[in-house]
Chains A and B, each alone.
Chain A
Amino acid sequence: MADDILSIDDLRLNFYTYEGVVEALDGVKLSLRKGETLGIVGETGCGKSVTGLSVLVIVPPPGKIEGGKIFLKVKGKDIDLLGQRQAILRRIRGEYISLIFQDPRSALNPVYTAGDQIIEVLVHHRRKELIRRALERIDKEIASGKAGFLTKYYKKIYQKWLESPRALSLQILSKIPIARRYNRILKDEAKKEATKMLRIMRIPDPERVVDMYPHELSGGMAQRVVIAIALACSPEVLIADEPTTNLDVTVQLQILNLIRELKEEFSSSVIYVTHDMGVVAEMCDRVAVMYAGSVVESAGVLDIFKRPLHPYTRALLESIPRPGTPFKSIEGTVPSLINPPSGCRFHNRCRFAMDICAKTKPEIAEVEKDHFVQCYLHHSLGE
């Protein structure tokens, strides 16, 4: 569609393990519209996190993308992320798409301060802007007469840096100790920017936090730093991979509100991966329900909760504990994806399974406007 900022089509991904080939994603079809929050829900191992990772093309081995297309709209043009060179992907990651990881403690590097880790992103993606700011500062220092004797050499270096960042002289200079101290002005500017980011994340006393190491931060704070890293270059697509799973409900609420506000502020579109239906209801405009590697239903959040069509979605909603009613669970267990069930992968747990379900996999079809279901119950072939 015209307003899709990201669209995934027929994505296939396998993990090559010793036990066999795990067909983790089996024809995922998704689209993210500009400015919306899309929730991806499902049980553990249904492929929701891997979908997020494939969008950034950072699936860890032994995983391998086997087919499909992921289109991202960059400056009005659709580009297929899967066919790009690493150099281009590196620019896209962080600048256009970025990811908030599940566990903030393991996502942060324990030997660098929170500030350093934000600076890394800034220096990589927004170097030109930072060099300009550094030049401005040098000019100001020279004008006020407070400049040290090296400052005018620094000015030359920075001008050169701005013109041709890959110049040989700069590459050599950056390897020489003491001489490479010209970097400090840039780092200083980046640190100011990092502090500003932390302030946007509503962290109290950001000047202090910027110099703290991850172990000094609480879970909620660490998650805010991770979000700051993700939003440092105001990306158009933000993928949040269960960002609040390990946090307490009160902190979860703070983080959810933060993501919602920042989404407006940076006018990003968000893919929110979670298994918590409560969070989905709270955050998302549209929901995609995944089961065993494919999207079985996608619709607006009200439709999903009020009129779920796929039997799995219904079962998932029924398994939410509600006081006064007996706990309902989904019969059976998630199938092994090494030997996935034939046909519809849900058929052996499904209450409404028919003969055709075990034979061929249903196509995902638009049953109502904007309500897509992958099930023969709502399909012309199934009648």
Chain B
Amino acid sequence: MIREGVMTKTVRVAVLSSALALLSVPPAALALDDEPVEALQAVQEVPEDRLLDVGVHVFDSGIPEDEYTRFVLEEKGVFEEIRKSEARWIPMNLKRTLESTGYWGAVRMVPSATSVDVIVEGAIVSSTGKKLEIDVVVFDATGRSWLSKRYKQEADPLGYEEDATDEPFQSLYNRIANDLLKKRSDLDPEDFAEIRRVSELKFANDLAPAAFSSYLAVKKGKYSPARLPADGDPMMARVSEIRERDHMFVDTLNEYYADLYAKMEVPYRGWRSASYEEQMALDELNRAAKWRKILGAAAIFGGIMASREGREWSNVGEVAVLGGMVAIMDGLDKSAQTQMHREALKELAGSFDSEVQELLFDVEGEVLRLKGSVETQYASWRQILRDLFAAETGIAIDPNTVVSPPPQ
């Protein structure tokens, strides 16, 4: 019984002294979640027949249509124009990363209807200067799924240093590139040929469905070539000519996106860097405030319990209660400071949002204009190919027939 009492007192003393000691020491900043990852590079030139072209779509910005939700997000510092520009920035970084590995053919940002060997789609879940979280889905022209995964990454603080050249979230792009490479290495040699063939036939089918719809077989959402055009098929030769133009158009489109990338790089880096600082300070304060409130409560509880033990503990108990109250007050004060940082973050985002809006408006205007001109050309080509098919086969085609392009 006596032994038990001594033990209880010893534990209480330990708890009290630890609590008092911890109250004066803030917790260390949390370590980064992810270690830096390098993108795997091809050590030798990849044979032409193993090069798959990659089309990266503009990402879903993650901003809902609903006005109220948009307002709520703005209150949290998530702004529409910033997200829209990031929906172009992030795929552009991914494109560049994939290109740099040397394992792929042409890597382009493409409009959603374009037929490409491998297609990358994505959506932004969360994006601050400190953390990036995106969903990525990858599939090929045959409909085979390659990847469907959420990627999270904390910014590399070195990326925000004044003379830094690296993207703070480069490791995230490198991880995606490495995952895609892994999937690519699982393909058989005939898979490469089939993906390229299907991609070409899908393009042909979209332009001249009357001539090419029978070349593609679809089973449970998977495409395969049902038959192949003869060597020197004049219709296929015409389609190839048009496909070359399609690549030219997409390349030009990519230059507009590169233009946006270049123009927003400096302000975006500045915003993200400031946002990173604010977010770090905010997280630190949040942790410290929470920590102090918990320990303050523990100290008060311990102090009260100690005072009950008798006179020799009452002084210690009073000190603990007092210390605990001070800690809680300090925690509340820190909560007020976090609110200031939140406001600062929102202000920074609001200011960058206005800045990037103009850039986005300018480039998207050009992109829309170009897409409009090209759409007119495509309509004309579709008509000519339909007439050519009719002239060559004698099979008249109802011009009012609406043929929807096959789903990607």
Do A and B form a real pair? no
Which B residues are within 8 Å of any A CB, using their own CB?
A: none
Which A residues are within 8 Å of any B CB, using their own CB?
A: none
